[in-house]
Chains A and B, each alone.
Chain A
Amino acid sequence: MKKEQDYLNDLTEIRSMMERSSKFLSLSGWAGVLAGIYAIAGAWVARSILHFDPDSILYYYQESSAPFEGLSGLVFLGLGVLMLSLGTAVILSVGNARKKGEKAWNTTSKRMMSDVAIILITGGMLSFIFIFKSMLGLLLPTTLIFYGLAIYMAGNYTFKDVKVLGLIEITLGLLSILFIQYSLALWTVGFGALHIVYGSFIYAKYER
């Protein structure tokens, strides 16, 4: 005959199996902190060196006005920050998973990646369309909004707290269209400060 403790163990094991089989819990908080630092550095380069300072949606719509000279630099800077952040996140999360004796590339993380990729690719393509249409002012808000949507979706597969981060990013994105002259500052808050705060929070709550 089984004892009460056995039944309790059964329930605990069922819960743990449900969580392990449907959630990716090796997401690294440190990666968030580092991504925040890259973003702040990127924003500083964009502002101080490339003199990118969006104050209207259209950047140059008359033939007389000069096109934004730092454009190609800005695109490479953006892609560079993105690659660096993704690379860091992958390396640190794989390390985390290995520490727990799990594989990082499992059914759950595959599902999470394919869902998130659709949103991010749409956002990326939209950003390039805005570049071709000279609507550079919409670039920063677009990245904030689509990143927020992607993060919100990722929240289905990992720590629930991530969903709140997604909602804040979406709000910042919408605000930065409304107040486009502050969009670089809002972007720095969204991708820089928030990542650092949230990364430390995830680290403190789940990894220590």
Chain B
Amino acid sequence: MNVSFNDLHKAFENRIRLGIMSALAVNDSLDFSALKELLDVTDGNLATHIKTLEKLDFVGVKKSFVDRKPNTSYFITGEGKKAFENHLKVLEQIINAQK
């Protein structure tokens, strides 16, 4: 089988970004603290990676108020979902091809 490694999206080379996408793929939306807890990273680190995904239009932001406190939650966009699913497919192909 001919699998191109170039099909793997650069954005998903990073473990944390891959984790953010995995979590958002199976949840309608998650807020910042939920993501932070799941990934076990610092605020700044998480914010940087989310920004990267935001710029690629893979992740959308929803700002609201919960108990009068500002709450930022994130969701996966259509484009993000497509890119993530494609990434998964390529990963599986690479592994199958090397067996």
Which residues of A line the B interface, CB within 8 A? 4, 7-8, 10-11, 13-15, 17-18, 20-22, 103, 106-107
Contacts and interface: CB of A to CB of B under 8 A. Distances in A.
Interface string B79-97: 0000000001001101100
Given A106-B34, A107-B27, A107-B30, A21 B95 contact: no
B18 A21 contact: no
Given A4-B95, A7-B91, A107-B30, A13 B15 contact: yes
Contacts of A11: 88, 91-92, 95
A180 B10 CA distance: 64
Contacts of B34: 21, 106-107
A37 B38 CA distance: 35
Interface string B13-44: 00100110011011100110010011000000
| A contact face: mostly helix, strand, loop, or mixed | helix
B27 A22 contact: yes
Contact of B94 (A7, A17, A107): A7
A18 B95 contact: no
A18 B25 CA distance: 8
B2 interface: no
Contacts of A107: 27, 30-31, 34
Contacts of B94: 4, 7
B98 interface: yes
Interface residues of B, number: 19
A17 B25 CA distance: 10
Contacts of B92: 11
Given A4-B95, A7-B95, A107-B30, A18 B22 contact: yes
B92 to A, nearest CB: 7
Given A7-B91, A107-B31, 8 more contacts: A4-B94, A7-B94, A7-B95, A11-B91, A13-B22, A15-B22, A17-B22, A21-B26
A21 B91 contact: no
Given A7-B91, A13-B15, A18 B98 contact: no
B19 A13 contact: yes
A8 B26 CA distance: 20
A17 B23 CA distance: 6
A157 B19 CA distance: 20
A140 B73 CA distance: 42
Contact of B23 (A7, A10, A21): A21
A11 B27 CA distance: 18
B88 A21 contact: no
B95 to A, nearest CB: 6
A10 B18 CA distance: 8
A4 B95 CA distance: 6
11 contacts: A10-B18, A10-B91, A11-B91, A11-B92, A13-B18, A13-B19, A18-B23, A20-B23, A103-B37, A106-B37, A107-B34
